Each structure stands twice: as C-alpha cells, then as structure tokens.
Amino acid sequence: MTIHITEPARHALHTLCSEEQRFLRITVAPGGCAGMSYSAVIDSEPDESDITVYSQDSIIIVTNTFSKYFLDGLKIDYSSDLIKPGFHLSNTFAFESCGCGSSFAL
C-alpha cells in the first residue's frame, strides 16, 4: 500500500500528532457526486478494529477494513492559503472526482 504525504502535510501532521498516542484516522464512505468520499480526524482513542496503514516519524494513520482498499495511492497534502486551507486528500488511482474535489471513484 502506498500513501504519499507531502512535506507541508508531514509538518502539519507531526505538529498535530506529536502529543502522546494521537494519530490520523481516515475512513471512506459512499457519498458525494463521484461515489466515495474521505473523512479524516485526529484521534487518540484506538478502536479494536483499527488497521495501521502508515507509521513513520511519529505519524500514524489508521483505518477500518472497508476503507483500507481505497487508501492505496492516497496523497495527503496541506495548504495554509486563504481560499481553501487545511488537509487535502486525493487518490492517484481515481478515475473520476467531482468538481469541488470532495468525492472520487476508483
């Protein structure tokens, strides 16, 4: 499984997850114009169904069994611009996405 984290995203995640036992939880759910959408939260409460899909430099990413199949090719970027600040998740294997970029199809 390949997950690419850009340097701006790596810095932001390192800052957010530097407290003990904090990690990024990414899930995928049906919805949006193109069919599927990502949800990401910083969490500190592990679930027994969590699957660790990335662990490097104090950055840990977990997901569930359903979502793990949609994370291969995931790119996580971060922007601090004024128009659309925050984390941006996209998948290099997506063949379709909606105009606003919030949903995708693999």
Q: How many Å apart are CA 5 and CA 2, to the nearest integer? A: 10
**How many other CB atoms are found less than 10 A from the CB of residue 68?**
17
Q: Does domain 3-94 have CATH number 2.60.300.12?
A: yes
Q: Tell me if 93 sits within 8 A of 73, measured CB to CB.
A: yes
Q: What is the pLDDT along the chain (106 residues), one digit of tens a residue?
A: 899 999 999 999 999 988 778 999 999 887 666 567 888 999 999 999 999 999 998 899 999 999 998 899 899 999 988 887 899 888 777 655 545 555 555 5
**The model's pTM:** 0.83
87 by DSSP, 3-state: which? strand
The domain spans of the chain are 3-94
In this structure, the strands spanning 59-63 and 23-30 are: parallel
